[in-house]
Structure 1
């Protein structure tokens, strides 16, 4: 049986680990069932942002009326927008070409699956037949995830799109006249923004009481308020049935509070109800790899599965499904595989993310509810963009944008959240602060990051807001919404207001 030193499943962040293996002269294999480059490059964050930015410009032009400018968008050149998007996706071709010339590398293009301990085979895309079985001494699962499709009657017969098929054969030649989006999370919010700005009549349907339910309630409320200006937002409704009538796709909705049934119709349906694991396709159980109750591959702090010499990184372990987190995982995993015995543990305490909708949303750390649930004694502060000079200059109103900060009684930052212009940029400075100021002894025999909580390894100000407090903030700039939020800190579950 053919044996490899290293097998990597997935050509997204898995290529980081693969590259190191090739540099070390190992005999390697990579398995990929779609375009090389992974979800982010070929059907996710990169191509979607090429579509988001024109939508942003359209909305900014509309908002300019508030500051005395009447800007009209004369034409939307969907062909040029699409061409620019495909140019990014087509970077996958250069990746594939580069890999095809790599020494000591076998490329399997198809769907891989385990057939035994450390043993795999691949159903090849070119002919649908299985490859010969092969073994791996070390295996890295960077196998990602896929769209979760809810059990809605008639959905398969009527047809629908997902984020995967959208960036493929179902990409529209022009924006749809009308679109129903089932789901209210990150993907739903971004697509709703893109197509409503492009002139599509969008209806977004969410089972929960709020859109983007992972965010602070204040942020969800602002997004719902702004979305309602551009589209129909339906909450607490479940899609129960889909059919075709008069050339339109009709979705039957059930009100989860009253059980009242209603119908909406559109040219197309986008399913954006979350992500599911690919572990079932990989048949990981045949190699003894454990998964959680939702099917995501279980890993420890070193990204190891329960099976020695098999790791899972990125979306495959189901923790924070963002490319930057996957990049971080890949670096840690590479260090742990090739680092001569000294392991590094992952730290997900300050994972940031952004939702590139309109208005933009960004998030790092815990929400207020999460921090209270974990037993922290906290202060929180909310600062609206409209109360700072730059926010007023931009025409922002009180219910348009805000920044929220959550700190513990020692002023250590637990979380920060923003909605409004440049939210992702504003949150990034908090990410740096949450990771700043930590010092560890240089004793190579002791991994203090493993034995002590991060906060216990540090100087007193590590991870706190004190560097902001002691710093000058450029005036007038949006940075003031972060800096001046400190003046709004109020105790939430702290009896003594001592700050």
Structure 2
């Protein structure tokens, strides 16, 4: 029987990063993956393929709507080749997952293909083409999550689909009904809207992206409506039925009136649930909570001292970069180091266009906590860079402590917000004040100048360009 210092069950951004860091720290490491390809949800059916399709559809939309204004004339009709778009997406996925294979070999990490199942606290049985058993001093659970549904919905994976199927459709929907106005639903909704689909979003809460700052929700909703999305908030879905090639969704609006939506595809995007199927956690004595999450302490250690859990299978935001940070932390804890993660400074991003990004506290959270704060906001349309690229929608908002000026939250919507948020994370990691950012030189012309201007606005309301 092969024996290891660490065995990791799951090879997503949490698992494979944990494996690399363990190997770097001199531990003999194994990683177990149920699918033939490494990378988990993020690389195979999540972050990477969705961004590939978002970029492809963005290019198409630019060609149809904006090239002429830029002085670019294309003779003849511009057509979508959906098969090529999906094939390119897959090639991006293949390159990325192939990179993980390389990193495993480079770091001498043993890869096992099959379902990892606990025999006891130090032994894992791997059920693949053949059954293998390994022993490990420490085990990290990194089994991730799966799309959630509603109990009355029958997901047939043909017309009533999850994000996994939405990434490989063979035709552009005529009318895509999206149940759920969160990150995944809006991103995939925008892909197919750009390609010509009618898109209706149905959201139970009173606003889309309900976990983010309300100002971002309001602005994104305004932009999407301008893009001809149908946004239906405060709607409770009560039935989803398929009749041939038609899907009929019935929901009650906030007045209690029944509303019917008819489309040819329905994307169920109501969140994700922790995935522990086949793990046999009870054999190792590992406790799960009533939400199916693995219970852990601040060191991500379970109730069994040599077993840890990270990523979507534990509490907190289901984000690839959060899982990676946790994978690094656990590796270093096992090695006897004293790492830390500030969960308040894990940024969240929505990769629609304009992009939405956020870190720290929202205005609603600060009000609820009774924190005295000040806000500075700057519109993207006031930037020369925005006018040059025709990306005029959005703003940057900085929330700072009213007394100390320490930055408490940064919320932005606009072109390249996903990249711009990193400045805010760095500033908040070092407990910078709004004035600190306002006094830093930002290259001109850039989208990032909006962050400096928002900091100026939060500092005695002295933004320069509005």
Give the TM-score of the pair, scaled to structure 2.
0.87
Question: Which residue does 2:87 correspond to in 1?
Answer: 83
Question: Which residue does 1:148 correspond to in 2?
Answer: 148
CA distance 1:231–1:473, shift in 2 (3 Å): same
CA apart distance, 1:133: 5.3
Counterpart Cα distance in 1 of 2:157 and 2:101: 35
Matched, 1:139 2:139: yes
Counterpart Cα distance in 2 of 1:54 and 1:119: 45
Question: Which residue does 1:402 correspond to in 2?
Answer: 395
Contact 2:175 2:265 in 1 (8 A): yes
Contact 2:398 2:409 in 1 (8 A): yes
Counterpart Cα distance in 1 of 2:448 and 2:102: 44
Question: Which residue does 2:228 correspond to in 1?
Answer: 230
Gaps of 5+ in 1: 437-461, 492-499
Question: Which residue does 1:434 correspond to in 2?
Answer: 428
Gaps of 5+ in 2: 461-466
CA apart distance, 1:19: 3.5
Matched, 1:108 2:113: yes
Question: Which residue does 1:298 correspond to in 2?
Answer: 295
Counterpart Cα distance in 1 of 2:445 and 2:106: 53
Secondary structure (helix, strand or coil) at the match of 2:160 reads coil
Question: Which residue does 2:324 correspond to in 1?
Answer: 327
Name whichever of 266-275 and 243-252 sits farther off.
243-252
Listed one character per residue, the Cα deviations across residues 50-86 of structure 1 (whole Å, up to 9, x for unaligned) are 1111233344456649978697771223233222211
Give the TM-score of the pair, scaled to structure 1.
0.82
CA distance 1:300–1:248, shift in 2 (3 Å): same
Matched, 1:383 2:384: no
Question: Which residue does 1:449 correspond to in 2?
Answer: none
Counterpart Cα distance in 1 of 2:184 and 2:341: 26
5 Å-filtered alignment, 1:330-345, equals: 330-338=327-335, 341-345=336-340
Contact 2:159 2:242 in 1 (8 A): no
Question: Which residue does 2:408 correspond to in 1?
Answer: 414
**One of 241, 266, 270 as aligned partner of 1:269:** 266
Secondary structure (helix, strand or coil) at the match of 1:289 reads coil
CA apart distance, 1:97: 7.6
Name whichever of 386-395 and 217-226 sits farther off.
386-395
CA distance 1:487–1:106, shift in 2 (3 Å): closer
Counterpart Cα distance in 1 of 2:147 and 2:205: 18
Question: Which residue does 2:464 correspond to in 1?
Answer: none
CA distance 1:411–1:8, shift in 2 (3 Å): same
CA apart distance, 1:101: 9.9
CA distance 1:62–1:213, shift in 2 (3 Å): farther
Counterpart Cα distance in 1 of 2:33 and 2:15: 10
Contact 2:31 2:109 in 1 (8 A): no
Question: Which residue does 1:448 correspond to in 2?
Answer: none
Counterpart Cα distance in 2 of 1:159 and 1:27: 46
Secondary structure (helix, strand or coil) at the match of 2:437 reads helix
Secondary structure (helix, strand or coil) at the match of 2:161 reads coil
Question: Which residue does 2:208 correspond to in 1?
Answer: 211
The structure, 1 or 2, with the larger RCO (C-alpha pairs under 8 Å, 6+ apart) is 2
Counterpart Cα distance in 2 of 1:403 and 1:100: 43
Contact 2:61 2:195 in 1 (8 A): no
Counterpart Cα distance in 1 of 2:199 and 2:153: 22
CA distance 1:378–1:281, shift in 2 (3 Å): farther
Secondary structure (helix, strand or coil) at the match of 2:343 reads coil
Contact 1:152 1:239 in 2 (8 A): no
Question: RMSD over aligned Cα, in angstroms?
Answer: 3.1
CA apart distance, 1:11: 1.1
CA distance 1:158–1:88, shift in 2 (3 Å): closer
Secondary structure (helix, strand or coil) at the match of 1:349 reads helix
CA apart distance, 1:419: 0.9
Q: How many residues in Structure 1 have an aligned counterpart in Structure 2?
A: 454
Counterpart Cα distance in 2 of 1:106 and 1:57: 38
Contact 2:3 2:136 in 1 (8 A): yes
Counterpart Cα distance in 2 of 1:197 and 1:319: 32
Matched, 1:351 2:346: yes
Secondary structure (helix, strand or coil) at the match of 1:243 reads strand
Listed one character per residue, the Cα deviations across residues 338-373 of structure 1 (whole Å, up to 9, x for unaligned) are 2xx232222222111211112210111111111233
Secondary structure (helix, strand or coil) at the match of 2:286 reads coil
Counterpart Cα distance in 2 of 1:20 and 1:155: 38
